[in-house]
Structures are given as C-alpha cells and as structure tokens.
Amino acid sequence: MLQGKRIAVGVGGGIAAYKAGDFVRELRRQGATVKVSMTKAAQEFITPLTLQSLSGEAVLTDYFDTSQEEKFGHLHLGRWADAYVVLPATADLLARIAAGMANDAVTTSLLAFRGPVLLAPAMNTAMWEHPATQRNLATLRATPRTHFVGPASGPLADGDVGPGRLSDLPDLIQAVKGLFAGAQLNGKKVLITAGPTREAIDPVRFISNPSTGKMGLAVADEAHARGAAVTVVLGPVGELSPLPYEIIRVTTAEEMLEAVMHRVEQADVFVATAAVSDWKPQAVSAKKTKKTDAPQSLALVRTPDVLMTASAKVQANATRPVLVGFAAETHEVITYAKGKLTRKGLDLIVANDVSAPGAGFGGDTNVVTIIDSHGTTSAAQGTKREVAARLWDLVAKKLGAS
Ligand code: CTP
C-alpha cells in the first residue's frame, strides 16, 4: 500500500524524535519515498545528517537558508508529498499547527500542504492533559484532512506513567496506510459495542469483567481512519481523550441493548466487541448490604444478548448491516466461535483465545482467527490496531468496498 507513495515526515523537538529514524526506515522498506523536515528543537534530539542518511534525501531544516531554499524550497515539500506525518507532535508543535502558524520548516511546509496529515503526539502526561493542549486537539480534530495516531499510554521517558508515549512503530505505519485507505468506508455508518457492562448488586457493588474497551476502540479508530461515520456504545471504562467520533456511554447490558436497537437498522456494519456481563443479580438491593447480612448465595438471571437480539431484528430486512461478533474463549476456540457465528446469524466472527500470550483483556496486542460464514478462516496478530485493520479489510470485501 505504501509502494511509490511520497511521504513528508515533519520531526518535532521531543525525546521521541529519536524514533523518527526507525519510522523513516520502515516507510522506505515498504516502498515509500520519504522527505524530512525538522524544527530547530528537533535538531537538538536527532541530527539532520542522520535523517538525511536514512531517508536518502535532503532534509529541510531552515526556510531562511538560501541554499536550501534554492534546491528544496519550503513550498516544494507540501507540493511534492502525498501525505504528511508529524512525529513527534509535541505540545508546542500542536499549538502552532492548530493556530495555523508558519514559523519554521515543519509548520511552513505543512501549511502549504493540501493532502492528508497524520499527527503522532508524544509528550509528558501533564502537558497532554493540560486544557490548552486539549483545546488545540479539539481544534485539530475538527480540521479537515487531519488525523491522529496515539499517544499510547505507558511509562514515559521522564518517569511518569500515563498517556503521552509515541505510538509503537506498527501502529504508526498502520495509521499512515489508513490515510491512503481513507476513502474505503466513506459514507458508511459503523456501530460498535465496546468495553464491559456492569450489573449492580447493591449501590456499592457490581458484577463486571476486566474488559478495557481497547479492542473496540481500535476497531473504531481504524473505521474512522477509513472514512466511516462511527458510533461506539461504550460500557464503563476510565476517562478517554477526546475522540473524533460519537461515543454513547452506558453501564448495564440493558442500556447497551437499548442504544444498539435504536441504531442498528441504520448501520452498514455492526461490530460487537463488548464483553457484556452474561448475568445480573435477580434482585438489586436499594440499600448497601452490610457485611453481617451477607447472603449465603446470590441469585442470578441472564442479561439480554445484545448481538443476538440486534441480529434477529435486522435479519429479515432487505438490506441489513454486515454483522461481526467477537468470541472470547479459553479452549476449543474455533469450534465455539463457529457455533456463535451460526447461532447469532453473523457474517464474521473474531475468535480470540484470551488465555494465549499476547492476547486478551487490557493488553495492546491480540492474536485472533477471523472466520466467515462460509467457514473460511484467516489469522491476524499484532497490535489491536493491526488486528482491526485486518478485520476491516475483510468487512470492506463484504461491503464490496475494497
Ligand atoms: N454478546 C452480546 N451480548 C451478550 C453476550 C455476548 O452482545 N449478552 C456478544 C459479544 O459482544 C461478542 C459475542 O456476543 O461479540 C460473543 O460473546 P461471548 O462472551 O464470547 O459469548 P457468549 O455468547 O456470552 O457465550 P459464552 O459466554 O457461553 O461463551
């Protein structure tokens, strides 16, 4: 997909700038031609010579330098590129891009660029969470042709732990590919369930599971990057950074069902990634149960099956959405997943051995087998975003949009 593509990479001045070298190398390995621009601060972290050697092209560092201007030109880069990636997009760089400033090699060439832009933010967590940065992000998310990848969460160079890490190389590359697949799901409506649900026992206790919603949000990110209008019905997970698509927050399986049933008939694709709690207490105590009054056992009843109910509603429609389920299993993965595919009337199911290394709840990677209604299987593994990309390749075929 990157073969023959011309990609401009604007490097910002953050510690993650050293990763720009690997990024440039991987783009070239996949067949792209790469030209680099750098801010002054970026040159404190990695030298233009390094990026010149890795890209095999002159590096734009100073738009006032007459010799550079002669052979390279600050407008040339914007005219030349098919896509522009900014990495790391520091808080300062995001602020300047959001304001439409053109005061260095990166911002000037970016402002003169008319194609798709990918911003890969990386900074300290406090800077990321600062209202000023969040305001700039909101502006940029509303800017046409502007896309984001990351930041990832985890340990940062300064010892903090939280959002602010530059996304991993496979996710960066996948997001660049997403820029070129951008039109594939244009005009398509995608409905996704994600995260756990929570069923109250009393006002301070509940039944739930460890789902974090990461897989569902990766499916949503990838659909959005391919041009779909995305709605996510999301169970209780922690605070999220602003996302460029609709999020409907729900708590219980019944609330999730209601939100889905209102929307599923209008959707072109419905993907159920949520880990819906299968049971709820038969009775919810209105008052906190004191520990001395603990019941000997808890009577449970089944919650609705969101996917199965939604599937039953649309099966007879002349045009119905492509239906995709996930199957979390610990044994006899393929057999159980195929059973769910048939029972729930699905087009595709993503079978997931949650006990396998690198798979399951909470992590950033997954290992899956995707099975279609004819029994054809395809394996996918990697980051959750890469797995999501594989899934959308298959869904796009079903939609006749690949
Ligand atoms: N699902 C759902 N509502 C439920 C249970 C499951 O929408 N109450 C969806 C999930 O989002 C997933 C698929 O159905 O896409 C399969 O979920 P899973 O938990 O693997 O299977 P179950 O049907 O719950 O079967 P079991 O727990 O017996 O494995």
Predicted confidence (pLDDT) per residue in 102-142, tens digit: 999 999 999 999 889 999 999 999 999 999 999 999 899 88
- Are 52 and 100 found together in one domain? yes
Is residue 1 included in any domain, yes or no? no
Q: Looking at the 3D structure of the chain, how many domains does it have?
A: 2
Of residues 235 and 375, more confidence is placed in 235
Confidence of residue 64 (pLDDT cuts 50, 70, 90): low
State the distance from the centre of ligand 1 to the C-alpha of 305, rounded, in angstroms: 7
- The per-residue pLDDT for range 227-281, each reduced to its tens digit, is 899 999 999 998 887 787 899 999 999 999 999 999 999 999 999 999 999 999 9
Is residue 97 included in any domain, yes or no? yes
- Are 60 and 41 found together in one domain? yes
CB 290 within 8 A of CB 314: no
Catalytic positions: 209
- Are 126 and 227 found together in one domain? no
pLDDT score at 400: 79
Residue among 144, 116, 148 at smallest CA distance from 134: 148
d(CA 320, CA 311): 9
- Are 105 and 192 found together in one domain? no
Q: Which CATH number belongs to the domain containing residue 98 in this structure?
A: 3.40.50.1950
Owner of token pair 């011309």: 6
The finding on whether 194 has its CB within 6 A of some atom of ligand 1 is no
Which residue's CA is the nearest one to ligand 1's atom 18? 327
Q: Which CATH number belongs to the domain containing residue 372 in this structure?
A: 3.40.50.10300
Among residues 180, 197, 222, which one ends one of the domains? 180
Among residues 163, 180, 197, which one ends one of the domains? 180
- Are 134 and 282 found together in one domain? no
Average the pLDDT over 347-356 and give the result. 91
State the distance from the centre of ligand 1 to the C-alpha of 180, rounded, in angstroms: 34
pLDDT score at 159: 80
Burial degree of 345 (CB within 10 A; 0-12, 13-18, 19+): middle
* Tokens linked to 389: 């990309």
- Are 104 and 221 found together in one domain? no
pLDDT score at 70: 61
Q: Is the dihedral of CA 278, 283, 285, 289 positive or negative?
A: negative
Confidence of residue 186 (pLDDT cuts 50, 70, 90): confident
The partner residues of 353 in beta bridges, in order of sequence, read: 329
d(CA 202, CA 253): 16
d(CA 389, CA 99): 32
The finding on whether 124 has its CB within 6 A of some atom of ligand 1 is no
Among residues 180, 195, 229, which one ends one of the domains? 180
List the domain range (segments joined by +) for residue 80: 6-180
pLDDT score at 373: 92
- The per-residue pLDDT for range 188-236, each reduced to its tens digit, is 999 999 999 999 999 999 999 999 999 999 999 999 888 899 999 999 9
The finding on whether 396 has its CB within 6 A of some atom of ligand 1 is no
d(CA 330, CA 136): 43
Hey, how many other C-beta atoms are within 10 angstroms of the C-beta on 85? 27
d(CA 198, CA 201): 10
Q: Is the pTM of this model over 0.75?
A: no
